[in-house]
C-alpha cells in the first residue's frame, strides 16, 4: 500500500521505458513487505533530476545511460571504486547527502565467481564502453590478467591504460582467447532483435574457458550457445543484472536483498519475451 510513509526509489535514464529495474526492485520490496516503491523517470536534464532527488527526499536512484558519468558532477560524495570506474549507476540519499556508487563491477564479479575463481586468471574483455570499464576495474582488483579488445582500438588503449591491463588491441587480436581462461562480451552484439550474431568465432572457444556474455535478452545468446557446445562454462548476463540490482536494493533499504523473489520476477519477464534492450540494462 502506497501511503505518506512510502519511501521512493527510482530509475533515471533515457530511455527507460523497457527497463526491468522497476520489476526487480518492486518484487524485492513485496517479498520483504517493506513500504518502498520504485518508479522510472525518463530524464533529459540530469542536474535538475538530481535536484529533484534532494527536493523530494527520494531515497535512492539507479542511474543509467546516458547519465552515469555526468551524474558525478551533481552528487556530494563518491564511493572510491565508482570514482575509479568514472561512472555511477546508483545514488543514495542520506538526509540530503547524495553518495554515488557503482554496483556493475560487483554484480559482474559475483556472477563470474559463481562459476570460476578469478585470481591469477587471464581474461579477454571485448568492448570498451561503460560496462567494460566497470568490469575491468573489478577484474584488476581481483588480480586478473586482462586483455582489452575493441572494435575501435583507441578506446581499448584508453581503457587498458586506465586499469593497467596486460594487453589491448582491435578485434583482430581475438586469437588471444586461445590462451585465456575467461572471455567476457560487454558489447550489445547478440542482443534482440539481432540474435544470430557473435563477435567471437566458434572455433576460438575451448573447453578451459569460462564465457560471460553481459547481454541478457535473449538469455541464451549465440555466444553462450556456441560456448556450451564447445564445452565452456557459461555465465548468463541476467545474473549481472540481478546482482547489481540486489546491491542497490541493499544500499537503498539497508536490508538483505531477497534474491530468489527478485530473480524469479526477472526470469519470468525474460521468458515472457519482454522487450528489454541493451540500453535499458538496469
First to last CA, the chain: 25
66 binds ligand ATR (CB under 6 A): no
What is d(CA 189, CA 126) in angstroms, rounded to the nearest whole number?
10
Q: How far is the CB of 278 from ligand ATR (least distance, A)?
A: 6
Among 100, 130, 138, 237, binds ligand ATR (CB under 6 A): 130
Secondary structure tally for the chain: helices H, strands E: 9, 12
- Listed in sequence order, the DSSP H helices in 20-118 are 21-32, 46-56, 80-85, 104-113
135 binds ligand ATR (CB under 6 A): no
What is d(CA 275, CA 108) in angstroms, rounded to the nearest whole number?
22
Task: Yes or no: say if 257 and 36 are a contact pair by the CB < 8 Å rule.
Answer: no
What is d(CA 255, CA 148) in angstroms, rounded to the nearest whole number?
36
The residue range among 31-39, 46-54, 121-129, 245-253 that interacts with ligand ATR, by the rule CB under 6 A, is: 121-129
The residue range among 150-158, 202-210, 238-246, 258-266 that interacts with ligand ATR, by the rule CB under 6 A, is: 150-158
> In the annotation, is 68 catalytic?
yes
Please list the residues that pair with 184 across neighbouring strands. 125, 212
Q: Which residue has the cell 549507476?
A: 89
Q: How far is the CB of 52 from ligand ATR (least distance, A)?
A: 24
Among 145, 151, 206, 228, binds ligand ATR (CB under 6 A): 151
152 binds ligand ATR (CB under 6 A): yes
186 binds ligand ATR (CB under 6 A): yes
Q: How far is the CB of 156 from ligand ATR (least distance, A)?
A: 8
What is d(CA 27, CA 45) in angstroms, rounded to the nearest whole number?
29
The residue range among 44-52, 138-146, 180-188, 252-260 that interacts with ligand ATR, by the rule CB under 6 A, is: 180-188
128 binds ligand ATR (CB under 6 A): yes
155 binds ligand ATR (CB under 6 A): yes
20 binds ligand ATR (CB under 6 A): no
- Listed in sequence order, the DSSP H helices in the chain are 21-32, 46-56, 80-85, 104-113, 130-141, 153-163, 222-229, 237-253, 259-271
The residue range among 77-85, 126-134, 141-149, 202-210 that interacts with ligand ATR, by the rule CB under 6 A, is: 126-134
Q: List residues near ligand ATR by CB under 6 A.
A: 127-132, 150-152, 155, 186-189, 199
Catalytic sites, residue numbers: 68
Amino acid at each position: 500500500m502506497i501511503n505518506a510513509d512510502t519511501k521512493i526509489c527510482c530509475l533515471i535514464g533515457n530511455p527507460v521505458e523497457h527497463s526491468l529495474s522497476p520489476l526487480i526492485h518492486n518484487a524485492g520490496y513485496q517479498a520483504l513487505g517493506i513500504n518502498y516503491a520504485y518508479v522510472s523517470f525518463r530524464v533529459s536534464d540530469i542536474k535538475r533530476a538530481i535536484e529533484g532527488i534532494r527536493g523530494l527526499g527520494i531515497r535512492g536512484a539507479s542511474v543509467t545511460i546516458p547519465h552515469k558519468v555526468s551524474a558525478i558532477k551533481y552528487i556530494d560524495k563518491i564511493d572510491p571504486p565508482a570514482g575509479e570506474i568514472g561512472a555511477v549507476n546508483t545514488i543514495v540519499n542520506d538526509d540530503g547527502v547524495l553518495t554515488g556508487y557503482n554496483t556493475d563491477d560487483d554484480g559482474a564479479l559475483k556472477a563470474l565467481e559463481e562459476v570460476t575463481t578469478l585470481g591469477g586468471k587471464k581474461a579477454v574483455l571485448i568492448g570498451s564502453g561503460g560496462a567494460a570499464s566497470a568490469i575491468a576495474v573489478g577484474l584488476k582488483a581481483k588480480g586478473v590478467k586482462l586483455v582489452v579488445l575493441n572494435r575501435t582500438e583507441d578506446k581499448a588503449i584508453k581503457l587498458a591504460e586506465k586499469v593497467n591491463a596486460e594487453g589491448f588491441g582491435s578485434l583482430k587480436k581475438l586469437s588471444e582467447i586461445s590462451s585465456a581462461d575467461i572471455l567476457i562480451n560487454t558489447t550489445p552484439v547478440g542482443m534482440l532483435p539481432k540474435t544470430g550474431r557473435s563477435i567471437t568465432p566458434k572455433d576460438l572457444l575451448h573447453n578451459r574457458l569460462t564465457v560471460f556474455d553481459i547481454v541478457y535478452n535473449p538469455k541464451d545468446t549465440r555466444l553462450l550457445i556456441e560456448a556450451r557446445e564447445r564445452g565452456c562454462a557459461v555465465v548468463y548476463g541476467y545474473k549481472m543484472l540481478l546482482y547489481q540490482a540486489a546491491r542497490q536494493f541493499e544500499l537503498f533499504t539497508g536490508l538483505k536483498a531477497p534474491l530468489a523473489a527478485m530473480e524469479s520476477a526477472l526470469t519470468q519477464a525474460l521468458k515472457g519475451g519482454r522487450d528489454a534492450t541493451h540500453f535499458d540494462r538496469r
